[in-house]
A and B are shown apart, each in its own frame.
Chain A
Amino acid sequence: MKRILSVLLIIVMAASLLSACGGTQAPTQPEGPGASVAPQTGSSGKPTISIAIWGDENRKKTFEELFVAFEEANNCDVVVNLVAYQDYATKLATQLAAGNAPDVVWLADGMEAQFLQSGNLVDISSYVKSDADYNYPDLYESAMAAITDGDAVYGIPFSFGPRVVYVNKTLFDKAGVKSPSEYVAEGNWTYETMYDLARQMTDISKGQYGLKLWDTSSATNYVYAFYDLVLAYGADYFNQDTTDFTLNTPEGIAAVQAVYDAIYKDQSHLKPGDATEFTAGTIAMARSTFSYAKTIKGSNVDFEWEVVPVPKGPAANAPVITGFAYYCVTTNSKNPELAAELVKHMTTTDMMKTMVNTFVAPRASLLNSEEFLQQEGGKPTKDEILSSFVHVIEEQGLRSYPAHKNFSKIQDQITMDFDNYFAGVYSSAEETVKAMEQAVRALLNQ
């Protein structure tokens, strides 16, 4: 009897293990929303759409509530999967390989180029272009550049991160130094002025710094971190079709040198690795994305702050450059038509207005809407928003970060070279840029 029981126990355990391992479904590669794949249905018998997002439980709950109207209108269930941002791309790549990726995904920070070029996204152009009410042309053309291929549309941007400069007005008032907003009003708000103000506002003995250009607390993608600065100096990392590295010019070297000098010569900028936040009240000026305003408001800071645009450089009309976050449908989707409808539903002007306090959406009509300009708590003010980036986009244009099949390696290489400069391995900006040129050209041509 004992033996029989033992054998049964082993069979049950082995079977349960095998069934757990065999849960994945065979990959399917539908060519578009109309591909003939049997729709996936949930336990309720309704079609089920899964969507992967990053964020926290509160965001998940918000989205679940937002999806109720879509579920009722389409008689389906929408399942929200919360994935940690740092694991997002890896998990999605693994799921795609296993054939069980979510129907709808968020992609950002270059992920879109990787997944698009590897053929993992579905063309949803017929859904968003044909409906006049959707107002597809209202989406900034530059925001669509990285996610379109000819007439094909592989995703819709729902958020972007225009950079602004946050100013600790209390520190400026105490020091009796003319504030950046006054320079903006005079039309003299340049990088030169900003670096000069940073020197004036630095007092190392008090742990007070004049400037923080990027999040120094952790390793940073320096391509993104310095792109607007590089463009403002009249340089660029790459040529127009991303086939050549072009930073090795006097303008490019000047841009790199200026950052280095602020950190190590003037000591007015936080050093790499320093986790001090603007909200601590010891940093006079911090350049960050517009969404950082929420962090400041949430921190209940005991100082006055204001928002000004990023300064102008020698190339005064440099475009605003930014990354975007997109809704995309994966080729793994068993319900690609419904998934495309969900993307469309979530990116209408009305829906983006609903989400305006969470995401800055790249729709021209939205950025000028009262819903967006009247931020919670009245901060940043309407004038601050308009002058810090809305008018700048209108005047100077918007540009998305470049894409290349080797972009992950390229940005890692550039970041490593900046790191080497900041760590003293390279002795000059010229040497740094030259090292980048050699390595990046090899990667561009691979």
Chain B
Amino acid sequence: MRSKSKLYGKDPLWGHTFISPMLIGFIVISLLPIIATFFISLTDWALLNNKVEFIGFENYKKLFSDPLFYKVTKNTLLFTVLLIPSNLVLCLGLASLLKRNFKGVGFFRTAVFTPVITTVVVWGILWKYIFQTDNGLVNTLLSMIDIKGPQWLYNAKLAIPVAVFVTLVKGLGLNMVIFIGAMKDVPDMYYEASEIDGASKLRQFFSITLPSIAPSIFLVTIITIIGSLKVFAQIDTLTEGGPGTSSFVFVYYIYQQAFKYYNFGYASSISAILFAIIVVLTLIQWKMRKRWVYHEN
């Protein structure tokens, strides 16, 4: 504590100097637009006319009577509900397999991690080709075993699951690395002691590994939920919200209203609602973490 206070007292201006570019950038690029969004949501600002009139909560009233808003909410929640468990299960499974040091493990880790460093738009376009109806890789492979594949991206029931799959494969590597790091931090003595007690590998996983890496699971869950509520690029490149409105999600709807129809007021009200949903979900998880995160520093 003494050294800390000494450091603070010695030259705090240097510290502030070094963080100021980031701080100013955050205030100008993030914080002020976030605050402005709430004010814009109370206006009827249409960018092309550039006329702004204060209309109170009219945009919110319109929003709650807009059937597409409910569909967008349902689609976004479906995306989230499908992505979170599959993401956790797959990443934990891959981390359990690839945390060990066996021959070729580097290759597999690299293979799983590579999509993380690929641009999301490129990734989406690539999978769009793979999921083409007649000439796509998936349906071509299926046709070799006499299965007629569906219109993956032009099927109202499949559009969201396919987008979830594409998002899942892209993000696996990063979450896997987080879990591998956490698993390697679990002291070997726990496993040794449980082996003496006759615990199976499965029992060790559920009773030692999972509780020990709970903070990492908590982190990955929060990041994935926020990411899935903000999903845009995958939807834009794969389905453009279609077919019909079957894969319209929050951010795609905001994009459409703001940058296709130039209804900045209405788009801001959707953004405000999305912001509120993310805050509420994050707060709930934060409160609940005490129940299942045991090893938090």
Contacts and interface: CB of A to CB of B under 8 A. Distances in A.
B227 interface: no
B48 A96 contact: yes
A271 to B, nearest CB: 4
B160 to A, nearest CB: 13
A404 B257 CA distance: 17
B110 interface: no
Interface in A217-240: 218-219
B24 A13 contact: yes
Say whether chain B's binding surface is mostly helix, strand, loop, or mixed: loop
Given A3-B13, A17-B28, A96-B48, A416 B245 contact: yes
Contacts of B48: 93, 96-97, 114-115, 118, 120
Contacts of A17: 24-25, 28
A94 B244 contact: no
A295 B158 CA distance: 34
A416 B134 contact: no
B243 A420 contact: yes
Given A271-B134, A275-B132, A422 B243 contact: yes
A14 B133 contact: no
B: contact size bracket: 35 or more
Contacts of B240: 218-219
B134 A97 contact: no
B242 interface: yes
B50 A419 contact: no
Report which residue of A17, A21, A114 has the largest number of chain B beta carbons within 10 angstroms of its beta carbon.
A17
Contact of B132 (A13, A14, A274, A416): A274
Interface stretch (B34-42, B79-87, B149-157, B164-172): B149-157
B238 to A, nearest CB: 10
A261 to B, nearest CB: 16
Interface in A339-379: none
Contacts of B256: 412
Given A13-B24, A118-B48, A408-B260, A2 B14 contact: yes
A185 interface: no
A419 B248 CA distance: 13
Interface string A1-30: 011001101100110010001000001000
B156 A424 contact: yes
Given A271-B154, A273-B132, A273-B154, A419 B244 contact: yes
A308 interface: no
B246 interface: yes
B207 interface: no
B8 interface: no
A273 B128 contact: yes
A420 B156 CA distance: 8
A60 B151 CA distance: 40
Report which residue of B14, B24, B132 has the largest number of chain A beta carbons within 10 angstroms of its beta carbon.
B132
B155 to A, nearest CB: 6
Contacts of B28: 17, 21
Contact of A94 (B11, B17, B47, B246): B47
Say whether chain A's binding surface is mostly helix, strand, loop, or mixed: helix
A38 interface: no
A276 interface: yes
Contacts of B262: 93
B154 A2 contact: no
Report which residue of B48, B245, B259 has the largest number of chain A beta carbons within 10 angstroms of its beta carbon.
B48
B154 A13 contact: no
A9 B21 CA distance: 10
B156 A97 contact: no
A423 interface: yes
Contact of B17 (A10, A207, A271, A422): A10
A133 to B, nearest CB: 35
A438 interface: no
A417 interface: yes
A423 B21 contact: no
A2 B132 contact: no
A444 B262 CA distance: 18
Nearest to A99: B50
B16 interface: yes
A7 B13 contact: yes
Given A13-B21, A425-B244, A96 B11 contact: no
B30 interface: no
Contacts of B17: 6, 9-10
Contacts of A59: none
Contact of A13 (B20, B151, B239): B20
B135 interface: yes
A416 B49 contact: no
Contacts of A90: 259
B244 A273 contact: no
A119 interface: yes
A161 interface: no
A423 B135 contact: no
Contacts of A204: 134
Contacts of A10: 16-17, 20
A2 B11 contact: yes
A27 B245 CA distance: 37
A297 interface: no
Nearest to B14: A6
B108 interface: no
5 contacts: A13-B24, A17-B28, A118-B48, A274-B134, A423-B151
